[in-house]
Amino acid sequence: MSTISPDVLREKAIAVRQHAYVPYSHFPVGAALLSRDGQIFTGCNVENASYPLSLCAERAAVASAVSSGVRQFDAIFIVGEKSLAMPCGGCRQVLSEFGDLHVYVSYGDGQETKHFWLHELLPESFQLNPSSLE
């Protein structure tokens, strides 16, 4: 795992949370995703009037990383504003595509941080064998 501490990830997630576009839920979330090589990719939630088209902070961070060619991760820190922002089922599945990782969840300025392994949050995740797609 990279030598970057969860505290650094928390600060990045808090910083990006302020950019969240949340006119419907008023529930801003920021996420900071740590790659195995020590890069940090951030994302915030972006809502849409057509709710299914909204983008969670976790998936925004993953999209940023993958767009940069990065696909190996060690940790993600997710920060809500007034309450814990546990990743939704869809985000858990998207993260699981890239293996098991540390998941830190907090709110505000870092009160009540909880730590999980992704496999604890999504046991028996759906997986395809890439060779079966050929």
Residue ranges per structural domain of the chain: 6-123
Q: Which residues contact 67 (CB under 8 A, 6 or more apart)?
A: none
Geometric angle at alpha carbon 117, from 48 and 62, rounded to 5°: 35
Report residue 124 as tokens.
């028996």
pTM for the structure as a whole: 0.92
Instruction: Give the whole-angstrom CA distance, residue 105 versus residue 50.
Output: 27
Mean pLDDT, the chain, rounded, equals: 94
Contact by Cβ (8 Å): 81, 17: yes
Closest C-alpha to 61, from 94, 33, 23, 85: 33
Q: Which CATH class is domain 6-123?
A: alpha beta
- For 76-119, how does the pLDDT look when each residue is reduced to its tens digit (9 = 90+)? 999 999 999 999 999 999 999 999 999 999 999 987 899 999 99
Q: What band does 124 get if pLDDT is binned at 50, 70 and 90?
A: confident
User: Would you mind telling me the total number of residues written for the chain in this entry?
Assistant: 134
Judge whether 32 is annotated as a binding position. no
Active site residue ranges: 58
Judge whether 91 is annotated as a binding position. yes
| pLDDT for residue 66 is more than 70 | yes
Distances from the Cα of 134 to the Cαs of 90, 117, 129, 130, 131, in angstroms? 25, 31, 10, 7, 6
Judge whether 62 is annotated as a binding position. no
pLDDT value, residue 110 = 85
